[in-house]
Structure 1
Amino acid sequence: MSSVISAPEPQLLRRVSASTVLDFMRASGAVTVTDIMKATGLARATAISVCEELIERGWIRELENQRAFGQYQKGRPARRFELNESAGFVLGVDVGIAKVTAVVSNLRGETVGRSSQPFPGVQITAEDRIPGAQITAEERIAIIDQSAMAAIQDAGASADMVLAMTVGIAAPVDRNGDVLATQHFWELFDLDIKTAFNNLHGWTVLLENDANLAALGERWRGAAAGVDDVVVILSSERFGSGVIDGGRLLHGSHGGAGELAFLKQIEGVGDTFGIALMARTWAAEALAGKAKTSLRRHPAEEIDAEDVFTAAAAGDDLAQRILDRLADRMARVIGAVATIFNPELVVIGGGVAKSAGVLLKPIAERLDEFTATPPRIAVSPLGESIVAVGAIRSALDYVEKNSLNLQLRTRSLAE
């Protein structure tokens, strides 16, 4: 008995062709039909037909053909097309405990709008007190929305041009976008953000752990570009990590694959507080005593990690000892992570990364003490934007996967 394999439906082939052309256009500048044929293998008539359909849908545009001055060209100039990068926008939002940052990107991943707003009365200390963090979920949603809309306005766009929004939070998020709220700190981020923004604006909202987004952003545009096995450690206020193994982001059964709560069991670490928090904590402790240090020019309650790094660079003995303690602490953290995940590269990320380069050498010198598989170490060039960059990448991934199912609205505030 023979079986019959049906040929693909013409409509399916059409969608595949359109998707292939659109993928090529995203990675290219202005292209001709011949360029499209070479890249996709499509026949000329099909390539032209697909381009005209994508123009009608709003995804690409045809450029005016102009011959170079003084040059003779026989026949008609070739038709040229390019991605309409402003046909829609994506939102990347980093929701921290103390502030929210929203970034708007066009369809080429270029940042075109940004806004940041604090949550009122929030402070993180080494005693794990978070005064003011108990503002209501509704108040947090309102501030997140204000930041998002300010970023959209900064981009010269409108809310109905947002094709997807990815939000990063400092709590585990599973593959379905559900928050693992089994700790008090994580509960602060269980705001039902997806429902709230779908109701407010009709947006498709993706929710993800902030360190996971940091890993996506770092692999896209940071020190981990092209690296398939990498751990990115957010290390400013609290430690958190995003793990990419074989090019695939790890989540675990409940989204906790990169959580670092086990650091409480690591000798010489004992908690999940990051570089920035410990730098200012140790500096404040020293200033409470009689230590001679240039850091005394700063009020103890206002000193930050940048002050400590600056003082150390100027030769301050106390600040240099703090940096030595930080390097030892980070070597233990990275050693534990390297033993568990065996990455090729570990990237130190977050706002403190711009100063943490001075720690790389002393960390590397200690690593052999704490792991049999020491990775390369780097600091992120993305700074405080690392989570938002990853959120943009996540939202773009969604749009690129679902382009032909999305309805574009090409109206802007400027019109």
Structure 2
Amino acid sequence: MKIRASDGSRLRRINLAATLRALRGEPAVGLTELAARAELSRPTVEGLVEDLLGLGWVSEVPPESGRMGRPRRLFRFRAEAGHVLGIDVGSSGARAVVCDLNGEVRGRSTVRAEASFGREKRLAGMRSAAHEALSYAGVPAAHVMAVCVGTTGVVTATGTVRLCVSLPDWTGLDLAAEAGRDFDAPVLVENDCNLAALAERWVGVAQHADDVVFVLSGTRTGAGMLIRGELHRGGRGAAGEIGALPLVGWHRAPSHLAAFPGLPPSAPAGEVAGLVFAAARSGDPAARWAVEQFAHDLAEGIAALVLSVDPDLVVLGGGVSRSADVLMEPLRRHLDPLCLEPPALAISGLGDQAVVTGAVRHALNHVDARLYDVDAPLPASSRPGP
């Protein structure tokens, strides 16, 4: 077999990726240990590190003090060499988080919105949250390597909201293009439930599960799925939209809470569930009955997903997760008889940060794919070192 000139270049790119992986998320390390981690020779790694220094992905740290003889050279991955931006935009407003390439939060912002806001006001709030988070982090928009926006609704692979029931004027919106006006970086758009599922596996209760169903329930109910640890969107981005099927109860579940006679006449839609669960917690019979019916309808949709996917774990998030002490017992009671085997069920601890955290993870995954793509040149960092 003849060896082409390009083969050596590709091998070097493979070795660069291996060296980056060995440095990523670790403290400063010397060349000998780095070579062992990357499973490469020390001379090879020494040359690769010089390349990475020039591209701005690695920096040399001061030598250790108190050591006899020639101090060894120490290197670290420059997580500050690039940043990602995660955004969660929905009916109640927009959240934005800026992270470095190790996933450490460097800035965040929240801009509130009213349910009555139209498309333009909502987009303005999204932009405001993004720019406030970047300003707090001290990161120019030009140094953002990837942006991910999470939204309610069915989203196409190109970032258009194909259908959005809770925000009707969102339907047909090219959200990727709208967000992309402010950034040269790639802009990803993903369904909010899908992103919440990613967040749970990254830093939440599903870190040790491969097949996960995340159910987001509040003023509406939706689901996202991970299969073998990977996001499952389906062919047209509509996987998990079990609530569209009238035979399951997700579409009517909120009506049981809204019918609670103890609600104030002007209670905002976003506060109804909390008020009803609080009343049920205090022993109000009508509230407890409303929660019972809500749990029954919620269980129908969850059971349909459990029987289809057979997940390792079902995670319940959204507004109702704050009332697990009231909801879990009736939910379990209605869910288990509908399944061949009672599923493992957990409550999300990420609260209202689940979607934006998943957006950050999705953006980081995109950057990682670029850094470790051995068929493309390794790009220079967005923020070169000194």
1:292 paired residue number: none
The answer to whether 1:255 aligns with 2:221 is no
Cα pair 2:83 2:100 within 8 Å, conserved: yes
2:211 paired residue number: 229
Structure-2 change in CA distance of 1:358 and 1:30 (3 Å): farther
Structure-2 change in CA distance of 1:322 and 1:272 (3 Å): closer
2:374 paired residue number: none
- Which consecutive unaligned segments of at least 5 residues does structure 2 have? 372-376
Structure-2 change in CA distance of 1:278 and 1:64 (3 Å): farther
2:156 paired residue number: 174
User: Could you tell me how far 1:221 is from its partner in structure 2?
Assistant: 1.0
Q: 1:258-407 residue pairs with structure 2 within 5 A?
A: 258-266=240-248, 269=249, 271=251, 277-278=254-255, 280-283=257-260, 286-287=261-262, 301-302=267-268, 304-403=272-371, 405-407=378-380
2:50 paired residue number: 52
Distance 2:14 2:177 in 1: 32
TM-score (norm 2): 0.89
User: Could you tell me how far 1:263 is from its partner in structure 2?
Assistant: 4.1
Distance 1:359 1:270 in 2: 15
Structure-2 change in CA distance of 1:163 and 1:241 (3 Å): same
The answer to whether 1:409 aligns with 2:382 is yes
User: Could you tell me how far 1:187 is from its partner in structure 2?
Assistant: 5.3
1:194 aligned counterpart, secondary structure: helix
1:100 paired residue number: 94
Structure-2 change in CA distance of 1:368 and 1:83 (3 Å): same
- Residues 345-388 of structure 1, C-alpha deviation per residue, up to 9 Å, x if partnerless? 11111233232254223322322322224311111111111111
The answer to whether 1:203 aligns with 2:185 is yes
User: Could you tell me how far 1:196 is from its partner in structure 2?
Assistant: 2.8
User: Could you tell me how far 1:242 is from its partner in structure 2?
Assistant: 0.7
Q: Kindly report the root-mean-square deviation, in angstroms, between the aligned alpha carbons of the 2 structures.
A: 2.7
1:245 paired residue number: 227
- Which consecutive unaligned segments of at least 5 residues does structure 1 have? 123-131, 288-294
1:257 aligned counterpart, secondary structure: coil
1:163 aligned counterpart, secondary structure: strand
Cα pair 1:335 1:367 within 8 Å, conserved: yes
2:170 paired residue number: 188
Distance 2:54 2:302 in 1: 52
Letter in 2 for 1:388: V
Distance 2:363 2:216 in 1: 21
Letter in 1 for 2:237: G
User: Could you tell me how far 1:4 is from its partner in structure 2?
Assistant: 4.6
2:150 aligned counterpart, secondary structure: strand
Displacement over 6 Å in runs of 4+: none
Paired positions, count: 379
Distance 2:353 2:276 in 1: 22
Distance 1:189 1:97 in 2: 14
User: Could you tell me how far 1:50 is from its partner in structure 2?
Assistant: 1.6
Distance 2:299 2:202 in 1: 26
1:116 aligned counterpart, secondary structure: strand
Letter in 2 for 1:56: G
Q: 1:81-160 residue pairs with structure 2 within 5 A?
A: 81-119=75-113, 121-122=114-115, 132-133=116-117, 135-136=118-119, 138-160=120-142
Letter in 2 for 1:366: H
User: Could you tell me how far 1:394 is from its partner in structure 2?
Assistant: 0.5
User: Could you tell me how far 1:405 is from its partner in structure 2?
Assistant: 4.4
- Residues 254-293 of structure 1, C-alpha deviation per residue, up to 9 Å, x if partnerless? 1111112344212xx26165xxx5575133xx13xxxxxx
Structure-2 change in CA distance of 1:150 and 1:406 (3 Å): farther
Cα pair 2:336 2:343 within 8 Å, conserved: no
The answer to whether 1:38 aligns with 2:36 is yes
User: Could you tell me how far 1:203 is from its partner in structure 2?
Assistant: 2.4
User: Could you tell me how far 1:253 is from its partner in structure 2?
Assistant: 1.6
Letter in 1 for 2:105: T
Q: Which of 20, 23, 31 is the aligned partner of 2:21?
A: 23
Cα pair 1:339 1:373 within 8 Å, conserved: no
Cα pair 1:236 1:351 within 8 Å, conserved: yes
Identity of aligned residues (%): 35
- Residues 159-191 of structure 1, C-alpha deviation per residue, up to 9 Å, x if partnerless? 111110001111222344443238685651543
Structure-2 change in CA distance of 1:44 and 1:5 (3 Å): closer
1:264 aligned counterpart, secondary structure: coil
Structure-2 change in CA distance of 1:270 and 1:33 (3 Å): closer
**Greater mean alpha carbon deviation, residues 192-201 or residues 152-161:** 192-201
2:362 aligned counterpart, secondary structure: helix
Letter in 2 for 1:312: A
Cα pair 2:221 2:250 within 8 Å, conserved: no
2:198 paired residue number: 216
Distance 1:392 1:81 in 2: 26
Cα pair 2:57 2:380 within 8 Å, conserved: no
